[in-house]
Amino acid sequence: MKIQWFPGHMHKASNEIREKLPEMDMLIEVLDARIPGSSENPMIAAIRKNKPALKIFNKSDLADPLMTEKWQDYYERDKGIKTLCVTRDQPDKIKQISALCRKMISVSDARDKEIHAMIVGIPNVGKSTIINILKDKTVAKTGNEAAVTRQQQRIKINDDVVLFDTPGLLWGNINNEHSGYRLAITGAIKDTAFDSDDAAFYLAETLIKNYPHLIMDRYELDKAPQTELEFIETIGKQRGCLRAGGQIDLDKACKILINEYRLGVLGNITLENPTDFELEVKTADNEAKKKEQERQATKAERKKRWKKNRK
């Protein structure tokens, strides 16, 4: 899925992060535990270099715990990265973040004797909720939609940890089409910016392949659906999504499936694994490079013809 949603404030924020991150002692990146790879901003990964990073797996109560362990092992292969799984219903665990920052960066080594940590995350990942719990009061605006935070702010958590909050940030070109689908399904992108039917069929395919038992339990089926269409139609019939003449309203059924996934009523489900994700990224990068080479070749040929016609 190609995403055409990159508000102007995100472009501004990405430039500010590039400027500010080198001045930070460490990075805190809030990931969606259901899509850890797809919710990691590749721009941040590229400019982090060797800076210590704490990756927060938020909404871990909605994710597959076995898959979460695999993702934690995957990230912690890098000695500079630590991970922590949290949910909004675990304030005590969220408050461990300050102590983890001190373990990763000693105050004596920090700038101005304070640990300066930039906290980043994609839209609607729950970053502002985490900040408010750390501060014990509402200092960051929250909302169950993408792109609520619009500007950076400096938040002193305690005597020696200062957070630099940033807007929920996507990136201009999401080359991995699988990531585009997953970001849409989990709510990181405004619903008006993608085709819900397309996203729902992608979700249905993933569920049939990886979590057929959860489908059967939720929809009380004797056997798992064989195709995405069969699955969506089953939901439509059960939820009364009918048009005149008894036809199933697939659009309504698709929206119900996405909403039930977001609410977690289907069960603990993760939409990607580290091995497949690495392959997806590699394939997408190769395709992007190939297209760029073709574009440059076309540009060179056009320039050559232009010069020839000028003679």
Chain segment 300-309, per-residue pLDDT in tens: 888 877 877 7
Q: How far apart are CA 154 and CA 234, in angstroms?
A: 49
* Structural domains in the chain (count): 2
Chain segment 46-87, per-residue pLDDT in tens: 888 889 999 999 999 999 999 999 999 999 999 899 999 999
Q: In this structure, are 108 and 20 located in the same domain?
A: yes
Q: What is the pLDDT of residue 175?
A: 85
pTM equals 0.87
Torsion of CA 29, 32, 35, 37, to 10 degrees: 0
- Angle (nearest 5°) at CA 38 between 3 and 166: 85
CA 149 to chain CA mean position, Å? 16
Q: In this structure, are 116 and 214 located in the same domain?
A: no
Q: How many CA atoms within 13 Å lie on the side-chain side of 44? A: 28
Q: Is 17 part of any domain?
A: yes
Q: Is 230 part of any domain?
A: yes
Q: What is the mean pLDDT of the chain?
A: 88
Q: Is 280 part of any domain?
A: no
Q: What is the pLDDT of residue 147?
A: 45
Q: How far apart are CA 40 and CA 30, in angstroms?
A: 8
Give me 226's structure tokens: 């064989």
Q: In this structure, are 158 and 221 located in the same domain?
A: no
Q: In this structure, are 158 and 200 located in the same domain?
A: no
Q: In this structure, are 49 and 133 located in the same domain?
A: yes
Q: Is 171 part of any domain?
A: no
CATH number at residue 258: 1.10.1580.10
Range of the domain at 233: 195-263
* Coil vs helix vs strand at 176: coil
Give me 281's structure tokens: 């990224």
Q: In this structure, are 134 and 93 located in the same domain?
A: yes
Q: In this structure, are 155 and 202 located in the same domain?
A: no
Q: What is the pLDDT of residue 68?
A: 98
Q: In this structure, are 61 and 154 located in the same domain?
A: yes
